[in-house]
Each structure stands twice: as C-alpha cells, then as structure tokens.
Structure 1
Amino acid sequence: MKLLILAICGLVAHVSATALTYSVSANERACFYADLKTTGLKVAFYFAVQSGGAFDIDYVVTSPSMKTIIDGEKERQGDFVFTANEIGEYRFCFLNEMSTFAEKLVDFEIVVENEDHAPLPLGMGQTSDDANGESLLDNSIHSISGKLTSVARSQKYFRTRENRNFSTVNSTESRIFYFSIVEVVAIVSMAALQVLLVQFFFTGSRKGFI
C-alpha cells in the first residue's frame, strides 16, 4: 500500500515512496494519489512547508467520490489521520495558486496501514501460550514502530523550525545590510548638499546674499 501516483501538469509518474519533498511552483496545483484496494485502512498525512514565501500553503484531501476529507488555507504544517471508508484513489493536493512568484518547498508523508493486525498462526509444536507470547511481541513491535514514527515526525518538525528560523535570520541580516547602505548614502548625500549650500553662499558674487 506504499505506491503513490504523482500527477502534475498532466504527467503521471509512479513513486515507490511515501515520504517526499516537492517544490510547488507559483500558481501550481500539485496532486498526489494513494490507491486503496480495501476499506477500513488508516491513512496518515503529514506535511510541512520548508521554504518559500511566508512558509504557508493551501491543501485539500479528497476521497474517490471527490468528497473533501481535509482542507486548509495558508497552513504551515499539518498532521492528520483518517480512516478510508471508500475504495479507490485518494487525492492529496497542494495549492500554491495564491502566490504569483514564490515557490514553496513542501516536505510531506503519506502512510497507509491496517488498523487491525491479524493474529499470527500457530506453528507446529506451538501452544496457545507461545502464540500469546508472539502476539504480545507483535504488539510491542507495532508500538515501537509507532513511537519511531512519532520521533521521526518530531525530527521533521524541528528541522522545519530550524529552516524557518534560519530563513528569518538571513532575511533580517539582508534588511540590516540594505538599511545600512541606504543610511550611508543618505548621510553622504546630506553632507554633499551641505557643502554645496556653503559654496553657494560664500563663493564669488553671492556673498551679498548673506
């Protein structure tokens, strides 16, 4: 259930991954698809805007019957989980149509998994106690997997915060630099204007104006 179909600008490509990073151009609508063969599956959808503009983007998630499941405007990041009640292609779209020139670098992840895990079958020579032990082990593995996923998402969150803070620092440094240049130009211009005024009043025949 990890096969995604990427459809952008009329081109279709198969991507055998659920964690992707994509640059959404200005005035672009980028959609990704997850094809589900059964109902009752749990779908996790995470995204974070890494760079571009005000670090926000519009998004919408629709079912195979084109019903809106999740949507939002000018969001910086999101983490959602929903149960798929229909069979078919679920559409995950990022809309950068509000921007006229800014590209948005979006890091996102789509995970599809069963809500219920089937019990392990009994092997030869196994007792019910052994099966219960393996069931507990299986539950522990799934619990650890869930915690690792949570840790990975926390790392992505901190990486996103780091990118945003770094971008803010760069923007502040650029503003200070250009403001300093403007300030220096203004000071030099005022000094030159004062020199010209002094020369105007004290040069040649214009002394009578004083």
Structure 2
Amino acid sequence: MKAILVSLFLLGAIVAPIAALNTFTLYIPARTELCFNEYLQHKDRLDLSFEVEEGGNLDIDFVIYTPSSKPLYSLTGESSSHFGFNAEAEGKYVYCFGNKMSSMVEKRLSFSVHGPDERWKIEELEMKQSIDDPTETLQSEIRVLDAGIRAVQDEHAFLVQRERRHRQTADSTRSRVLYWTLLQTAVLLGVCYFQVTYLKKYVHAASVLIYARA
C-alpha cells in the first residue's frame, strides 16, 4: 500500500510539470492568424484542446494542415474544441488559430497540446526521480494512466471555463431583465399618473363649464 501511494505521488509530480509545460495562453489580434507546428513520426499521437476566454463572441477559427499542406481538420467560429489524431505520414503538422473574421476585437485563447515531444520530458523527469527507486516497476505500470489523467484535466479545465462563461451570461441576462422590468414598471406608473391627472383635469374642466352654463 505504501509503495502504491509513493508511486501515485511520483506520478503526480511527473504529470503536473508536463501539464504546465503544454498549456498556453495567447492573444490573437483582429485580422490575424497564429500558427504553430509539431513534427510527428508515422502513427504518433497529437491531442489539442482550446478555449476562447475573452473577446467578442468568444469565437475563433481553427485548422490543422498535414505535411502536404492539406487541411486535416477545421472549425469556423468555435469557442472551444478538442481534437486528436494519429499521424498517417511523417512530417510537420501545422495548426492555426484565426481571428480574421474580427475587424477590431482581440481574442484571448488558452490551449493545451499533448504530443510525442512529451515522451522525452516524462522519461527525463522519471530518471531524475526514480534513481534507486524500488517502486520503478509499479510506476511504469501507472504511467499508462498519464494520457487519460491529462485528458481529464484538460476537459475539466474547459468545463470550468465554459460554466463560468455561461454563468456570466446568465447573470448579465438576469440583470438586463431586471432593469427592463423596472423600466417598464416606471413607464407604466408614469402613464397611469398621467391618465389620472388628465382625467381629473378633464372632469374639473367639464364641471366648471357646466356650472358656468347653469
């Protein structure tokens, strides 16, 4: 049991810095597209998640190009997404985030990338922490959970961002409904006051006219 706890602790120590190394935040100016690339061997796996955190309608264009410059996957006007694939050919895969549809608004975007370049980072961190470690065998078995843990972390982070954005939208809508209701109430009271005042003056004027004729 103690060995398992030690291994889980070591796994957490390995996963945490890797997750930090592969999560980025950037600002994309209006009418701009920012591109990055990953060199993949045949059958290498690449997973990418992104979330628009701020700016305009919280939408962004996204596209991945194969080494032959053909679009592999593309999205238009999305606020968040997750995409993963196994490379069919060796070469440089380019992925781009585009804000060309916006003429003035800058977008803030956070994204995370998990690719084959992480392997040497994980192995290097493991070598530093597993010297004379009797739990190395168990730790190697636990490593198969690494990809799943990171995927869950990414999904949880994006769900938190989405929930926060939806809550802000709901709060804003609720405030607008409240202000509109108060405005309608004020207008209704004003109209009622005007009608009552007008009717009183009309009745008073009619009474004076009748009295004068009499």
Q: TM-score, normalised by structure 2?
A: 0.63
The aligned runs of 1:19-98 (5 Å cut-off) are 19-25=23-29, 27-36=30-39, 39-40=41-42, 41-84=44-87, 85-88=89-92, 90-98=93-101
For structure 1, list consecutive stretches of 5 or more residues without a partner in the other structure: 1-15, 121-132
Whole-Å Cα distance in 1 between the matches of residues 186 and 178 of structure 2?
12
Matched residue pairs, number? 176
1:181 alignment counterpart: 182
Amino acid at match of 1:160: Q
Question: Any idea what SS the aligned residue of 1:73 has?
Answer: strand
- State the shift of 1:172 in Å: 2.1
Question: Any idea what SS the aligned residue of 1:82 has?
Answer: strand
The aligned runs of 1:119-138 (5 Å cut-off) are 138=140
2:146 alignment counterpart: 145
Whole-Å Cα distance in 2 between the matches of residues 168 and 52 of structure 1?
14
2:169 alignment counterpart: 168
1:126 alignment counterpart: none
Q: Which 10-residue stretch deviates more, 90-99 or 175-184?
A: 90-99
8 A contact 2:55–2:107 mirrored in 1: yes
Whole-Å Cα distance in 1 between the matches of residues 70 and 152 of structure 2?
32
Distance change in 2, residues 1:91/1:19 (3 Å): same
Whole-Å Cα distance in 2 between the matches of residues 206 and 81 of structure 1?
85
Question: Any idea what SS the aligned residue of 1:175 has?
Answer: helix
Amino acid at match of 1:66: S
Identify the structure with bigger relative contact order (alpha carbons < 8 Å, sequence gap 6+).
2
Whole-Å Cα distance in 2 between the matches of residues 115 and 157 of structure 1?
21
The aligned runs of 1:198-209 (5 Å cut-off) are 198-202=199-203, 204=205, 207-208=208-209
Distance change in 2, residues 1:170/1:20 (3 Å): same
Amino acid at match of 2:60: I
RMSD: 3.6
Amino acid at match of 1:21: T
Whole-Å Cα distance in 2 between the matches of residues 101 and 185 of structure 1?
37
For structure 2, list consecutive stretches of 5 or more residues without a partner in the other structure: 1-19, 124-134
Distance change in 2, residues 1:193/1:54 (3 Å): same
Whole-Å Cα distance in 1 between the matches of residues 151 and 59 of structure 2?
23
Question: Any idea what SS the aligned residue of 1:59 has?
Answer: strand
Aligned identity (percent) is: 24
